Protein backbone atom coordinates (compact mmCIF):
# COMPACT_ATOMS: atom_id res chain seq x y z
CA UNK A 1 0.00 0.00 0.00
CA UNK A 2 1.36 3.43 -0.93
CA UNK A 3 1.93 5.69 2.08
CA UNK A 4 0.92 9.35 2.26
CA UNK A 5 4.58 10.36 2.34
CA UNK A 6 5.27 8.42 -0.85
CA UNK A 7 2.45 10.29 -2.56
CA UNK A 8 4.28 13.60 -2.10
CA UNK A 9 7.43 13.37 -4.25
CA UNK A 10 6.97 16.94 -5.47
CA UNK A 11 7.66 18.32 -1.99
CA UNK A 12 11.35 18.97 -2.61
CA UNK A 13 10.60 20.92 -5.78
CA UNK A 14 8.05 22.97 -3.89
CA UNK A 15 10.67 23.88 -1.31
CA UNK A 16 13.13 25.00 -3.97
CA UNK A 17 10.96 26.95 -6.39
CA UNK A 18 11.25 30.22 -4.44
CA UNK A 19 7.61 31.22 -4.79
CA UNK A 20 6.07 33.18 -1.94
CA UNK A 21 3.79 31.49 0.57
CA UNK A 22 1.10 34.07 0.00
CA UNK A 23 1.13 35.23 3.63
CA UNK A 24 3.69 36.71 5.98
CA UNK A 25 4.82 35.47 9.38
CA UNK A 26 7.60 35.98 11.86
CA UNK A 27 8.85 34.53 15.14
CA UNK A 28 8.80 35.06 18.89
CA UNK A 29 11.48 33.48 21.06
CA UNK A 30 10.92 31.80 24.43
CA UNK A 31 13.95 30.85 26.52
CA UNK A 32 14.74 27.37 27.81
CA UNK A 33 16.77 27.84 30.97
CA UNK A 34 19.28 25.78 32.91
CA UNK A 35 18.54 25.97 36.63
CA UNK A 36 21.89 24.49 37.55
CA UNK A 37 23.91 26.96 35.51
CA UNK A 38 21.42 29.81 36.01
CA UNK A 39 21.50 30.83 32.37
CA UNK A 40 19.62 30.47 29.08
CA UNK A 41 20.27 27.10 27.46
CA UNK A 42 18.27 27.74 24.28
CA UNK A 43 15.53 29.83 22.71
CA UNK A 44 12.59 28.15 21.01
CA UNK A 45 11.38 29.87 17.84
CA UNK A 46 7.58 30.17 17.90
CA UNK A 47 5.53 31.18 14.88
CA UNK A 48 3.70 34.50 15.05
CA UNK A 49 1.83 36.73 12.65
CA UNK A 50 3.57 39.91 11.43
CA UNK A 51 1.72 41.95 14.09
CA UNK A 52 2.28 39.39 16.86
CA UNK A 53 -0.89 37.45 16.06
CA UNK A 54 -1.02 33.99 17.61
CA UNK A 55 0.36 30.93 15.85
CA UNK A 56 -3.16 29.63 15.15
CA UNK A 57 -3.77 32.44 12.65
CA UNK A 58 -0.76 31.24 10.66
CA UNK A 59 -1.33 27.50 10.93
CA UNK A 60 -4.89 28.00 9.69
CA UNK A 61 -3.34 28.90 6.33
CA UNK A 62 -1.21 25.75 6.07
CA UNK A 63 -2.39 22.92 3.84
CA UNK A 64 -1.04 20.09 1.71
CA UNK A 65 0.06 22.46 -1.04
CA UNK A 66 2.25 24.72 1.10
CA UNK A 67 3.31 22.48 4.01
CA UNK A 68 6.80 21.84 2.64
CA UNK A 69 7.42 25.44 1.76
CA UNK A 70 6.20 26.64 5.16
CA UNK A 71 8.46 24.22 7.03
CA UNK A 72 11.48 25.47 5.09
CA UNK A 73 10.47 29.11 5.50
CA UNK A 74 10.18 28.65 9.29
CA UNK A 75 13.71 27.33 9.51
CA UNK A 76 15.12 30.19 7.46
CA UNK A 77 13.14 32.85 9.35
CA UNK A 78 14.20 31.48 12.75
CA UNK A 79 17.89 31.40 11.79
CA UNK A 80 17.74 34.86 10.21
CA UNK A 81 16.17 36.45 13.29
CA UNK A 82 18.40 34.57 15.73
CA UNK A 83 21.49 35.82 13.91
CA UNK A 84 20.10 39.36 13.73
CA UNK A 85 19.45 39.36 17.48
CA UNK A 86 22.91 38.04 18.25
CA UNK A 87 21.63 34.86 19.89
CA UNK A 88 24.44 33.12 21.76
CA UNK A 89 22.41 30.20 23.09
CA UNK A 90 21.10 27.22 21.18
CA UNK A 91 18.19 27.84 18.80
CA UNK A 92 15.33 25.35 18.90
CA UNK A 93 13.29 25.01 15.70
CA UNK A 94 10.18 22.86 15.34
CA UNK A 95 9.92 20.65 12.29
CA UNK A 96 7.12 18.52 10.94
CA UNK A 97 8.31 15.02 9.94
CA UNK A 98 5.66 14.77 7.25
CA UNK A 99 7.11 17.90 5.67
CA UNK A 100 10.49 16.23 5.12
CA UNK A 101 10.54 14.08 2.01
CA UNK A 102 14.27 13.36 1.91
CA UNK A 103 16.36 14.80 4.77
CA UNK A 104 19.51 15.21 2.68
CA UNK A 105 17.58 17.45 0.25
CA UNK A 106 15.26 19.22 2.68
CA UNK A 107 18.16 20.27 4.91
CA UNK A 108 19.77 22.30 2.14
CA UNK A 109 17.76 25.45 2.85
CA UNK A 110 18.72 25.23 6.54
CA UNK A 111 22.40 24.90 5.73
CA UNK A 112 22.18 27.75 3.23
CA UNK A 113 20.47 30.00 5.79
CA UNK A 114 23.04 29.15 8.48
CA UNK A 115 25.86 30.03 6.08
CA UNK A 116 24.17 33.18 4.79
CA UNK A 117 23.47 34.57 8.27
CA UNK A 118 26.64 33.17 9.85
CA UNK A 119 24.79 31.08 12.44
CA UNK A 120 26.63 27.91 13.60
CA UNK A 121 24.72 24.72 12.85
CA UNK A 122 25.93 23.22 16.13
CA UNK A 123 23.72 25.80 17.86
CA UNK A 124 20.56 24.44 16.22
CA UNK A 125 18.12 21.98 17.79
CA UNK A 126 15.36 20.43 15.70
CA UNK A 127 12.21 19.52 17.66
CA UNK A 128 9.90 16.83 16.30
CA UNK A 129 6.40 18.28 16.63
CA UNK A 130 3.28 16.18 17.21
CA UNK A 131 0.96 18.17 14.94
CA UNK A 132 0.68 15.23 12.54
CA UNK A 133 0.53 11.51 13.16
CA UNK A 134 3.60 9.82 11.75
CA UNK A 135 2.90 6.32 10.55
CA UNK A 136 6.37 5.75 9.12
CA UNK A 137 8.60 5.79 12.20
CA UNK A 138 11.52 4.49 10.15
CA UNK A 139 11.30 7.70 8.11
CA UNK A 140 11.45 9.84 11.26
CA UNK A 141 14.36 7.80 12.61
CA UNK A 142 16.18 8.38 9.32
CA UNK A 143 15.61 12.14 9.61
CA UNK A 144 16.86 12.26 13.20
CA UNK A 145 19.93 10.18 12.44
CA UNK A 146 20.79 12.28 9.41
CA UNK A 147 20.38 15.56 11.29
CA UNK A 148 22.58 14.34 14.13
CA UNK A 149 25.24 13.23 11.65
CA UNK A 150 25.24 16.74 10.19
CA UNK A 151 25.88 18.29 13.61
CA UNK A 152 22.37 19.32 14.65
CA UNK A 153 20.84 18.39 17.99
CA UNK A 154 17.37 16.86 18.06
CA UNK A 155 14.46 16.77 20.48
CA UNK A 156 11.06 15.14 20.92
CA UNK A 157 8.46 17.80 21.66
CA UNK A 158 5.41 17.44 23.92
CA UNK A 159 6.29 13.96 25.17
CA UNK A 160 3.30 12.36 26.84
CA UNK A 161 0.67 14.02 24.64
CA UNK A 162 -0.78 13.43 21.19
CA UNK A 163 1.44 11.21 19.06
CA UNK A 164 4.60 11.66 21.15
CA UNK A 165 4.45 8.53 23.25
CA UNK A 166 6.44 5.50 24.28
CA UNK A 167 6.21 3.94 20.81
CA UNK A 168 7.99 6.99 19.37
CA UNK A 169 10.63 6.87 22.10
CA UNK A 170 11.20 3.15 21.57
CA UNK A 171 12.04 3.77 17.92
CA UNK A 172 13.75 7.17 18.08
CA UNK A 173 16.27 8.46 20.59
CA UNK A 174 17.03 12.17 20.40
CA UNK A 175 19.37 14.39 22.38
CA UNK A 176 16.54 15.99 24.33
CA UNK A 177 12.95 15.32 25.32
CA UNK A 178 10.37 17.95 26.27
CA UNK A 179 7.76 16.82 28.78
CA UNK A 180 4.28 17.96 27.81
CA UNK A 181 2.80 20.67 30.00
CA UNK A 182 -0.18 18.45 30.84
CA UNK A 183 2.23 16.32 32.91
CA UNK A 184 3.73 19.43 34.48
CA UNK A 185 0.63 21.38 35.46
CA UNK A 186 0.22 21.38 39.26
CA UNK A 187 2.65 18.48 39.54
CA UNK A 188 3.45 19.56 43.08
CA UNK A 189 -0.12 18.52 43.96
CA UNK A 190 -0.35 15.38 41.83
CA UNK A 191 1.46 12.30 43.11
CA UNK A 192 0.61 10.27 40.01
CA UNK A 193 2.32 12.82 37.74
CA UNK A 194 5.36 12.82 40.00
CA UNK A 195 5.65 9.03 39.73
CA UNK A 196 5.31 9.15 35.94
CA UNK A 197 7.96 11.87 35.61
CA UNK A 198 10.34 9.92 37.84
CA UNK A 199 9.90 6.93 35.54
CA UNK A 200 10.51 9.01 32.42
CA UNK A 201 13.61 10.52 34.01
CA UNK A 202 15.02 7.05 34.65
CA UNK A 203 14.37 6.01 31.05
CA UNK A 204 15.99 9.17 29.70
CA UNK A 205 19.06 8.72 31.90
CA UNK A 206 19.57 5.24 30.49
CA UNK A 207 19.03 6.51 26.93
CA UNK A 208 21.38 9.48 27.53
CA UNK A 209 18.66 12.04 26.80
CA UNK A 210 18.27 15.38 28.56
CA UNK A 211 14.79 16.28 29.80
CA UNK A 212 13.16 19.69 29.41
CA UNK A 213 10.09 20.49 31.49
CA UNK A 214 7.93 22.91 29.50
CA UNK A 215 4.91 24.90 30.57
CA UNK A 216 6.28 25.87 34.00
CA UNK A 217 3.98 28.46 35.52
CA UNK A 218 4.71 28.39 39.25
CA UNK A 219 7.56 28.25 41.74
CA UNK A 220 6.07 25.05 43.19
CA UNK A 221 6.22 23.25 39.84
CA UNK A 222 9.78 24.43 39.24
CA UNK A 223 11.01 23.49 42.71
CA UNK A 224 9.54 20.00 42.69
CA UNK A 225 10.80 19.18 39.21
CA UNK A 226 14.26 20.45 40.08
CA UNK A 227 14.22 18.12 43.10
CA UNK A 228 13.32 15.27 40.74
CA UNK A 229 16.54 15.94 38.84
CA UNK A 230 15.41 18.13 35.95
CA UNK A 231 17.76 20.96 35.01
CA UNK A 232 16.15 22.46 31.87
CA UNK A 233 12.91 24.43 32.08
CA UNK A 234 10.64 26.49 29.85
CA UNK A 235 7.47 28.39 30.66
CA UNK A 236 5.78 31.63 31.68
CA UNK A 237 7.33 31.38 35.15
CA UNK A 238 10.66 32.27 33.56
CA UNK A 239 9.60 34.35 30.56
CA UNK A 240 6.85 34.72 27.99
CA UNK A 241 7.76 34.52 24.30
CA UNK A 242 9.39 37.77 23.15
CA UNK A 243 8.17 39.04 19.78
CA UNK A 244 11.16 39.26 17.42
CA UNK A 245 13.34 39.69 20.50
CA UNK A 246 15.23 37.80 23.19
CA UNK A 247 13.48 37.67 26.54
CA UNK A 248 15.23 38.81 29.72
CA UNK A 249 15.30 36.48 32.73
CA UNK A 250 15.02 38.03 36.21
CA UNK A 251 18.22 37.48 38.16
CA UNK A 252 16.44 35.93 41.15
CA UNK A 253 14.18 33.59 39.18
CA UNK A 254 16.42 30.58 39.80
CA UNK A 255 16.25 30.86 43.56
CA UNK A 256 14.86 27.71 45.16
CA UNK A 257 14.37 29.46 48.47
CA UNK A 258 11.45 31.83 48.81
CA UNK A 259 11.84 34.85 51.03
In a domain, 252, yes or no: no
Contacts of residue 220, defined as CB under 8 A and 6 or more positions apart, other chains included, come to: 188, 189
Q: Within a domain: residue 208?
A: yes
pLDDT at 101: 59
Please report the pLDDT score of residue 87 as a whole number: 97
DSSP characters over 102-169 = -HHHHTHHHHHHHHHTT--GGGEEEEEP-SS--S-HHHHHHHHHHHHHTT-EEEEEEETBTTBSHHHH
Number of H helices, E strands in the chain: 10, 9
The answer to whether position 4 is within a domain reads no
Q: Which domain holds residue 43?
A: 24-243
Apex 161 CA angle, 9 and 157, nearest 5: 60
Q: Is residue 33 part of a domain?
A: yes
Angle, to 10 degrees, between the axis of helix 67-84 and the axis of helix 108-116?
Answer: 20
In the prediction, which pLDDT does 244 show?
Answer: 97
Model pLDDT for residues 149-163, shown as the tens digit of each residue: 888 999 988 786 655
151: left (phi > 0), else alpha (psi -120 to 50), else beta?
Answer: left
Instruction: Give the pLDDT of the chain (259 residues) as one tens digit per residue.
Output: 323 333 344 344 444 444 577 899 999 999 999 999 999 999 999 999 999 999 999 999 988 888 888 888 999 999 999 999 999 999 999 987 766 656 776 788 889 999 999 999 999 999 987 655 566 778 888 888 888 888 899 998 878 665 556 777 888 889 999 998 888 999 999 999 999 999 999 999 999 999 999 999 999 999 999 999 999 999 999 999 999 999 988 888 887 765 4
Q: Does residue 18 form part of some domain?
A: no
Domain total in the chain: 1
- 17 in a structural domain: no
- Domain containing 204 — which CATH number? 3.20.20.450
In the chain, beta strands by DSSP E: 26-34, 39-48, 90-95, 124-128, 153-159, 176-179, 210-214, 232-234, 242-243
pLDDT at 11: 45
- 192 vs 199: CA distance, rounded Å: 11
Per-residue pLDDT, 165: 66
In a domain, 62, yes or no: yes
Q: Identify whether 160 is part of a domain.
A: yes
- The confidence score (pLDDT) of residue 7 equals 35
Amino acid sequence: MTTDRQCRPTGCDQCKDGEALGFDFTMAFQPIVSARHKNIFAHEALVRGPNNEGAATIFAQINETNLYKFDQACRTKAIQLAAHLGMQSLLSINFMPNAVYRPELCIRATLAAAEKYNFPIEQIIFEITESEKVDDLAHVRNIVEYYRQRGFRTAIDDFGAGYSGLNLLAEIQTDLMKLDMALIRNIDQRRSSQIIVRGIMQVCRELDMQVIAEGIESYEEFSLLFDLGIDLFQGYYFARPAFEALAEIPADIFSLHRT
